[in-house]
Homo-oligomer: A and B are copies of this chain.
Amino acid sequence: MVTLREIARECKVSVATVSKALNDMNDVSPETKEAIKTTARRMGYYPNSSARALKTNRTYNIGVLFVDESNSGLTHDYFANVLDSFKRSVEKKGYDLTFINSTHNRDMTYLEHSRYRGVDGVVIACVDFDDPQVLELVRYDAIPVVTIDHVFDYRIAVMSDNIQGMHDLVEYAYSKGHRRMAYISGDDTAVTRNRVGSFVRSLEKHYIDTPEEYLISSAYRNPELAYKYTRQLLQLMDSPTCIFYPDDYSAIGGINAIRDIGLSVPDNISVVGYDGSYISQIMSPRLTTLRQDTVKIGSVAAEKLIHLIENPRTTLIQRFVMNGELVAGESVADIN
């Protein structure tokens, strides 16, 4: 490993001068600076991140907290895409990504792990936001944090506009003539509450009351449950003409239930998904869904987190709400 010391010996200057030259400090003459830089390049030098971190308390490393009870966020389509975009963005600015976890040897909490690794900041998504360990990390204000799809006071949040998104979907179905709409929603989270609220209010604007049996609390990414609840809805005497699902995967489960009963999508029953995942547009019929802008969410989260890291005091704590985009698809029939 080639160190500053070796470059110093080669250039016949001190280690301090080499360091300053490579960091472009201005108390090194242009000539020596240039000479040092070229020999550094020639010798294949790159800094030792541990040594630098030890001295500067900056690692250029960002922690990623992405845990799901069942799967980790990695296998979660939506979050994997957000993370992918996030990763791309931070890498452009010279930061690396390290996963934060708590199932460590000597068991550390998320906060301890973050401090152990000395990450400059943490992005949190796809977790149980009531987890005491998450709260501990969020409340520890020496580490910059952005959360995705959840709002904490005094923390930057980046989120999808679930209220507008659901509104758009309801308006679309309404415009196609649907009046009896049911919503099989996800687990009880902030995101879910926003969507359910928006669903009900959007219908109320059209003077449509949503009967209790049209609002079913299910789970995200659980086609089996969606299947079950879809059958349940279809057995109502006054069954809906259009069913909304928490995500595209659940919608597929619903479609299976509809077909197994002998009905067709969208001819007999219309279906609305959420997320706009890749699969939703290659399946048939193409799903009517709301594409969340994962690229934007990831890149804005990255940008804001890095800004917070590099300008700790001047950065405003805000929420950033990203618009999604309605994807018309073919799963909602025009029954006008």
In the complex the two chains form, is A91's CB within 8 Å of B75's CB?
no
In the complex the two chains form, is B84's CB within 8 Å of A75's CB?
yes
Shortest Cβ gap from A117 to chain B (Å): 6
Interface range for A? 35 or more
Closest to A259 in B: B284
Other-chain residue from B1, B54, B88 in contact with A72 (beta carbon distance below 8 A): B88
A322 to B106, CA, bound (A): 32
Interface-facing stretch out of A42-50, A178-186, A205-213: A42-50
Is A71 engaged at the interface, CB distance under 8 Å to the other chain? yes
Contacts of A84 in B (CB 8 A): 71-72, 74-75
Chain A 190-232 interface 0/1 with B at a Cβ cutoff of 8 Å (1 = within): 0000000000000000000000000000000001000000000
The verdict on A98 contacting B101 (CB below 8 Å), with A71-B84, A84-B71 known, is no
Is A99 engaged at the interface, CB distance under 8 Å to the other chain? yes
Q: Assembly of this chain: how many copies?
A: 2
Q: Which of A278-293 contact B (CB under 8 A)?
A: 278-279, 282-284
Is A4 engaged at the interface, CB distance under 8 Å to the other chain? no
Chain A 45-74 interface 0/1 with B at a Cβ cutoff of 8 Å (1 = within): 011111101100001010000000001101
In the complex the two chains form, is A50's CB within 8 Å of B118's CB?
yes
Is A256 engaged at the interface, CB distance under 8 Å to the other chain? yes
Other-chain residue from B61, B74, B116 in contact with A47 (beta carbon distance below 8 A): B116
